[in-house]
Amino acid sequence: MAKKFIADVAVAGRRVFLRNDFNVPLNAGGEITDDTRIQAALPTFRHLLDNGARIVCSSHLGRPKGEVVPDCSLAPVAKRLGGLLGERVLFCAETVGARAEKAKAKLKPGQILMLENLRFHPGETRNDPAFAAELAKGIDLYVDDAFGACHRAHASIDEITRHVPLAVAGFLLRKEIDFLTLAAENPPDHYLVILGGAKVSDKLPLLRHLVTQADAILIGGAMAYTFLKAEGMEVGASRVENECLELCRDIRRQAEERGVRFLLPRDHIAACQIEPNITVRIIRTGEGIPGEMMGLDIGPETVEAFQAEIGRARLIFWNGPMGVFEVDTFSGGTMEIAAALAASPATTIVGGGDSLAAVNRAGVADRISHLSTGGGASLEFLAGDKLPGIEALTEA
């Protein structure tokens, strides 16, 4: 993946378009509830500031669907970014057009201008050349630091690169590429993958690829119940995707043929409702989960078996919580796995919005080698797909 990198090009005095992923969660009052994505973007801003670039940045936020939706404004992001950098961040309430052009033209070296939400324009998701050309007007250098959006061929990610002299990766994007390439292209022996979370259908393409790469695959979360039902287990009212049963059998067959250890939960924390103080039962896979109950976390024997696998791994990729970790009663398995990763000397990579939240909740974020900021993008990358946003960058 030899793409040009920001540290290898001159930026002094240049007018840079910096594409960020500032798609941060906001509460009902419009306040940012988690600024991890803004924090992760700071190294590239600092580099550009230290080297006297004129910085024009923007992002998508929420799902405004091509219209101006005031609740999706980037204005609070500009304020938070300014606070974190200790610098003034100018904000333009337009993304393209006369006012945006004027603000871009006035920008001095060492100044930052944030343009309004890219998705207020229908041209963004349509990869529209006219919209991309407007974004690129007056720009000397394009810097992509929005890994979380790189799997989308959108105007500010893909088409814009055809309207600028040079398109390079920022520090955050480069770090993502480096860590994920390690897992995707030449994993060491003892490569362990742990998958969980809500839907198996989201992750089947990734699993198909991983059975050719990993030494061991551990499955938890709701997705385990589709696999277990496919093997004939009674799963009660657990979350199952019936249309995926055959594909699950197929993946297990492939794992077996290739000698990949494929572990499903041996026991379960089951309950009739997802509520904090509900009575739970520990049920072994062989017993089956009775009709009205749901499997909502992995049980203690499973935790032990998974810990043993984590203990012998040299590279670990984890996506998807092991249970309904948002509720304390069902968070134990996920917290144990997070702690085991943190204690492991292996290179550890965690991806996915809920998985990062789980690692934070476990208080071990600083002991994970790499926290991938891109949910869908990291899964596509590890599935061996080419990401349009990375492909579009200038060759080194």
Tokens coding 373: 């900021």
Among 78, 316, 324, 393, binds ligand ADP (CB under 6 A): 324
Could you tell me which residues are beta bridge partners of residue 316?
A: 192, 348
Q: Is 123 helix (H, G, I), strand (E, B) or coil?
A: helix
250 versus 326: smaller Cβ distance to ligand ADP: 326
> Which residue's CB is nearer to ligand ADP, number 60 or number 239?
239
Dihedral sign computed on CA atoms, order 318, 227, 270, 302: negative
**102 part of the active site:** no
Rounded CA separation 136/191 (Å): 42
Report whether 38 contacts 146 (CB < 8 A).
no
Residues sharing a CB contact under 8 Å with residue 202, sequence separation 6 or more, in sequence order: 379
Is 236 a binding residue for ligand ADP by CB under 6 A? The answer is no
Q: Can you spell out the DSSP letters for 314-337?
A: SEEEEES-SS-TTSGGG-HHHHHH
Is residue 354 at the binding interface for Mg ion, with CB under 5 A as the rule? yes
Among 155, 180, 222, 315, binds ligand ADP (CB under 6 A): 222
Q: At its nearest, how many Å lie between ligand ADP and the CB of residue 46?
A: 29
Q: Is 329 in the site for ligand ADP (CB under 6 A)?
A: no
Q: Which is nearer to ligand ADP, 123 or 352 (CB)?
A: 352
Q: Which of 335, 354, 382, 392 binds ligand ADP (CB under 6 A)?
A: 354
Residue 353 found at the interface with ligand ADP (CB under 6 A) = yes
Nearer to ligand ADP, 170 or 375 (CB): 375
Closest distance to ligand ADP from the beta carbon of 205 (Å): 14
Of 90-98, 127-135, 166-174, 349-357, which segment contacts Mg ion by CB under 5 A?
A: 349-357
Residue written as token pair 């944030």: 114
| Binding partner of 167, given ligand ADP, Mg ion, none, CB within 5-8 angstroms per partner class | none
Q: Please give the Cα distance from 166 to 396 (Å, whole number).
A: 11
Q: Does residue 376 touch Mg ion according to CB under 5 A?
A: no
Distances (CA, A) of 278 to 233, 237, 288, 325: 24, 16, 20, 15
CB of 294 to ligand ADP, least distance (A): 6
Give me the residue label for tokens 């896979």.
285
**How far apart (Å, rounded) are the C-alpha atoms in residues 238 and 13?**
58
- Among the residue ranges 44-52, 128-136, 173-181, 353-361, the one whose residues contact ligand ADP (CB under 6 A): 353-361
From residue 46 to residue 75, what is the string marking binding to ligand ADP with x (rule CB under 6 A)? ------------------------------
Part of the chain binding ligand ADP (CB under 6 A), chosen from 35-43, 110-118, 119-127, 348-356 = 348-356
Rg for the chain, CA atoms, rounded: 23
Local structure of 241: helix, strand or coil? coil
DSSP track, 185-236: H-PPSSEEEEE-SS-HHHHHHHHHHHTTT-SEEEE-TTHHHHHHHHTT---T
Q: Is 79 a catalytic residue?
A: no
Residue 148: active-site member: no
Q: Total binding residues for ligand ADP by CB under 6 A?
A: 19
Integer Cα distance of 313 and 269 in angstroms: 26
Q: Yes or no: say if 381 and 184 are a contact pair by the CB < 8 Å rule.
A: yes
Q: Which residues pair with 319 in a beta bridge?
A: 195, 351
Q: Would you say 196 or 389 has its CB closer to Mg ion?
A: 196
Choice among 15, 37, 203, 252 that is catalytic:
37
Q: Does 353 bind Mg ion (CB under 5 A)?
A: yes
* 241 is an interface residue for ligand ADP by CB under 6 A: no
Annotated catalytic, 199? yes
Structure tokens at 190: 């003892």
Catalytic residues: 37, 199, 353, 376
Name the site residues for Mg ion (rule: CB under 5 A).
353-354
Name the site residues for ligand ADP (rule: CB under 6 A).
196-198, 221-222, 239, 295-296, 319-321, 323-324, 326, 352-355, 375
